Chain A
Amino acid sequence: MSETTREPDARKLATDARDRVRFEEDALALSDQVYRVARHLVGSREEAEDLMQETYARAFRSWRSFQPGTNLRAWLLRILTNLNIDRGRRQQRSPDMQPLEEGDYFLYNKLEAATDGPTDEEQVVERLSQNDVVAALSEVPHDFRDVVVLVDIGDFTYADAAQILDIPIGTVMSRLHRGRRILKQAMAEAAVGDEAA
C-alpha cells in the first residue's frame, strides 16, 4: 500500500477516535441527569444502577448511530426505557385498570382542610415531606409514572417524551394528565393519612 492511501486512513481513524471520546464525555456529563430520571422509572436503586450500566455500555457501543446536534439526553433515555422494557422489568398495566382519581385541585383542598387557621400555598405545601413525594411517586403505575418522571422531573417536552417512550404525543398528554392526578391522590393519602395514624 502506498503512503498516500495510508495517510487519509490514519486521519480518518484519528477523527473517529476523537469523535468517540467526545461522545463518551458528553454522555458521561449527563449521567447525573439520566440517573435522576432512571431512579424513578424503576422500583429500586439497584435496578436503576444496573440499568444505567447497561444503557451506557450500549450507548458507547452504538455511538455512531447518535446524530450529533440532536438531544443526547433523550437518546440515552430512549435506550434506557427500551432496555427496561426488554428486560421485562416493567409490568405493563392497562390504563383502564386504574382507579378513578380526583380532580386537579384535590390535593390542595385536602391539605388545606387538614391545616389549622389561615394558610398560604407555601404553608400548605409544607405539609408534604420529601418522603411523601418519593413514596407517592413509586405508587403511580408505570405507564403513567414514566411520563410524569420524564416531563416533570426530567424536564422533557411532550414531543421528547413521546419519542423516548415511542408512543403518540396524545398518549403522553393523557397519561400525564392522569399520572399527575394519581400522584396527587397518593401524596394526599401519604400526608393526611400520616396525620390520622
Chain B
Amino acid sequence: MTAYDPCAHCEEVMQQYMDRVLTDAERAEAEAHLDECAYCRKRYRFEETLRVFVRQAVAAEPIPVELRQKLLALRTPLE
C-alpha cells in the first residue's frame, strides 16, 4: 500500500479547488493543507497568477473592426 502523500493529493485537486467545484469537506481539507504547506502554497499562488496571465495573453486580440462591420451588416433590415 502506498502511503498517503498530502502534497500529491493537493496537486491533484488544485484545479478543482480553483474552479470552486470541490465539496465543502474537500475544500476545507485543501485549505488546511495550503495553510501549513509552503511548497503547495507557493504553487497555488503561481497557478492563480498563471490563470490571469493566460486569460490576458489570449484576450489581447480584439475583434477586428472589419469583422464587426460585417456582423452589423448581417442584421435584418428594418421595413
Q: Which of B42, B43, B59, B76 sits near A24, CB closer than 8 Å?
A: B76
CA distance A46 to B60 in the complex (A): 17
- Across chains A and B, the number of contacting residue pairs, with CB separation under 8 Å, is 97
> Is A32 located at the chain interface by the 8 A CB criterion?
yes
> Is A150 located at the chain interface by the 8 A CB criterion?
no
Q: Which of A39, A60, A121, A134 sits near B49, CB closer than 8 Å?
A: A121
> Is A130 located at the chain interface by the 8 A CB criterion?
yes
Question: In the complex, what's the smallest C-beta–C-beta distance from A1 to chain B, in angstroms?
Answer: 20
> Is B57 located at the chain interface by the 8 A CB criterion?
yes
> Is B46 located at the chain interface by the 8 A CB criterion?
yes
> Is A31 located at the chain interface by the 8 A CB criterion?
yes
> Is A53 located at the chain interface by the 8 A CB criterion?
yes
CA distance A40 to B59 in the complex (A): 10
A104 adjacent to B53 (CB under 8 Å): no
> Nearest residue in A to B64 (C-beta to C-beta)?
A49
What band does the interface of chain A fall in when counting residues whose beta carbon is under 8 Å from B?
Answer: 35 or more
Q: Which residues of B contact A121 (CB under 8 A)?
A: 42-43, 45-46, 49
> Is B24 located at the chain interface by the 8 A CB criterion?
no
B57 adjacent to A152 (CB under 8 Å): no
B75 adjacent to A24 (CB under 8 Å): yes
Contact flags A6-21 to B (C-beta < 8 A → 1, else 0): 0000000000010011
CA distance A11 to B67 in the complex (A): 35
> Is A72 located at the chain interface by the 8 A CB criterion?
no
Question: In the complex, what's the smallest C-beta–C-beta distance from B2 to chain A, in angstroms?
Answer: 16
A32 adjacent to B50 (CB under 8 Å): no
> Nearest residue in A to B63 (C-beta to C-beta)?
A35
Q: Which of A35, A130, A183 sits near B60, CB closer than 8 Å?
A: A130
> Is B35 located at the chain interface by the 8 A CB criterion?
no
B49 adjacent to A35 (CB under 8 Å): no
Contact flags A50-93 to B (C-beta < 8 A → 1, else 0): 00110011001000000000000000000000000000000000
Given A28-B71, A39-B61, A153-B58, A104-B12 contact (CB < 8 Å):
yes
Please report B residues at the A interface, Cβ cutoff 8 Å.
11-12, 14-15, 19, 21, 42-43, 45-47, 49-51, 53-64, 67-68, 70-72, 74-76, 78-79
Chain A to chain B contacts (Cβ below 8 Å), 21 pairs? A17-B78, A17-B79, A31-B68, A32-B62, A36-B59, A39-B61, A40-B58, A49-B67, A49-B70, A53-B67, A57-B74, A104-B14, A108-B46, A121-B45, A122-B49, A125-B46, A128-B50, A152-B51, A152-B55, A153-B59, A158-B21
